[in-house]
Amino acid sequence: MSVASALNPDDPNVCSHWESYAVTVQESYAHPFDQVYYTRCTDILNWFKCTRHSYKTAYRRGVRTMYRRRSQCCPGFYESGDLCVPSVMCDLVTHRPPTSDLRLPLVTSPLLKLLGI
């Protein structure tokens, strides 16, 4: 496991943006239920069985959207360690400066051979 270096948002050429992410949380809510009890209630047709509507605290999982600020190198710069340095002739694939051992591909064609080139 490698330790990631962090850019300092106060350094030059460091830009930042807000990013959202989801977090699973436990949240409480009022769960309704009917409480049945027998007493001298006025409901003679149900044999004095009365129902009381109540609520109890229950828990469920929920998802919350949180936000955090992320630092990254501004356009035209790339991350080198914990600094943003200018990207002169930046490689479009690796976003790093080209290595010193770049070589042009060897081009051969029948026409070039005929011309002796």
At 100, the pLDDT band (50, 70, 90 cuts) reads very low
pLDDT at 42 over 90: no
pLDDT at 4 over 60: no
Higher pLDDT, 113 or 33: 33
pLDDT at 104 over 60: no
Helices (H), the chain: 110-115
pLDDT at 25 over 80: yes
Q: What separation, in Å, do the N-terminal and C-terminal C-alpha atoms of the chain show?
A: 52
Sequence ranges of the domains in the chain: 14-100
The burial of 84, by beta-carbon neighbours within 10 Å (0-12 exposed, 13-18 middle, 19 or more buried), is given as buried
